[in-house]
Amino acid sequence: MTTLFISDLHLSEHRPDLTAAFLRFLQQQAPQAEALYILGDLFEFWIGDDERSPLQLEVASALATLSQQGTALFYIHGNRDFMIGKAFARAAGMTLLPAEFVLELYGRRALLLHGDQLCTLDEKYQRFRRITSWRWLRWIFLRLPLSKRMEIAGKMRQGKKGKSLMLMDVTPEAVTHIMHHHQTSLMIHGHTHKPARHDLGFEVLETSGRRRPAERIVLGDWDEKFTYLEASHQGLQLIEKAVTTAD
């Protein structure tokens, strides 16, 4: 059996090709896996579980079908869809995970996260991230009319344009700190849209007492191409496919 990891699909009504590619992925690659981990930004934005757009209902139904077939589904919130709640998770058959989750992955101790907390040079965004984690603020936001929430989401997306690529990348200090903190030699994340495998040049003392070389695997976003990580007892493989075929 295998375990699959994806991130940063940014599904929206404006990109039906991405939705079609994701649905094919759920029908073709995912059923062979014992688990699928979605590491954030499944949707371009999320304004509340009560929206129930045709896209959201279609994706929830497809995920629920995969779950019923026996593939366990797990979700870590991204910076675009951090408002996904328990209602959508139940409808999709997914388990919501904390922002930083440690997984025993075929003999390796792996840290899963979306990755935005690693971009510490972007101080303005990190302040925004802290503020939007306040439960009382989310409570107020979810009680605004849907139309008002849509307007706010649109302004937030416009504000992200033109940001420096350096600010949007991870800092080595943040990576090193968080891996040592969780005692994990493997990190898997998305957010930066730069799919790659990185040997980090240091070792981590895991909870087992064994030192292992540190590695960081970055999942890509879904645009003309998409990537997913396939993990098994045979090892780790970062796979890239064209969105137009996805088979």
Q: Tell me the per-residue pLDDT of 84-121, one tens digit each, with 9 for 90 and over.
A: 889 999 999 999 999 999 999 998 999 999 998 998 87
Let me know if residue 166 belongs to a domain.
yes
Q: Rounded mean pLDDT of 14-26? A: 96
Could you read off the pLDDT of 37-93 as tens digits, one per residue? Answer: 999 999 987 666 666 789 999 999 999 999 999 999 999 998 888 778 899 999 999
Q: Rounded mean pLDDT of 165-171? A: 71
pLDDT band at 135; cut points 50, 70, 90: confident
Let me know if residue 247 belongs to a domain.
no
pLDDT band at 139; cut points 50, 70, 90: low
The rounded percent of the chain whose pLDDT value lies above 70 is 79
d(CA 64, CA 83): 19
Q: Rounded mean pLDDT of 23-42? A: 96
Q: Which pLDDT belongs to residue 109?
A: 95
Q: Which pLDDT belongs to residue 237?
A: 97
Q: Which pLDDT belongs to residue 85?
A: 86
d(CA 150, CA 185): 40
Let me know if residue 112 belongs to a domain.
yes
The two beta strands, 72-75 and 94-96, are: parallel
pLDDT band at 137; cut points 50, 70, 90: low
Let me know if residue 139 belongs to a domain.
yes
Q: Residue 172 pLDDT more than 60?
A: yes
Give the range of the structural domain holding residue 44, as residue numbers without chain letter: 2-242
Amino acid at position 171, single letter: T
The CATH number of the domain holding residue 167 is 3.60.21.10
Q: Please name the residue that has the structure tokens 């350096």.
A: 166
Let me know if residue 52 belongs to a domain.
yes
For the beta carbon of residue 162, count every other beta carbon within 10 angstroms: 6
Domain count, the chain: 1
pTM of the model: 0.87
Residues 6 or more apart whose CB falls under 8 angstroms from that of 83 comprise 46, 47, 48, 49, 138, 141, 142
Let me know if residue 128 belongs to a domain.
yes
Amino acid at position 221, single letter: D
Q: Rounded mean pLDDT of 157-166? A: 52
Q: Which pLDDT belongs to residue 158?
A: 53
Q: Which pLDDT belongs to residue 42?
A: 94
The two beta strands, 100-105 and 108-113, are: antiparallel
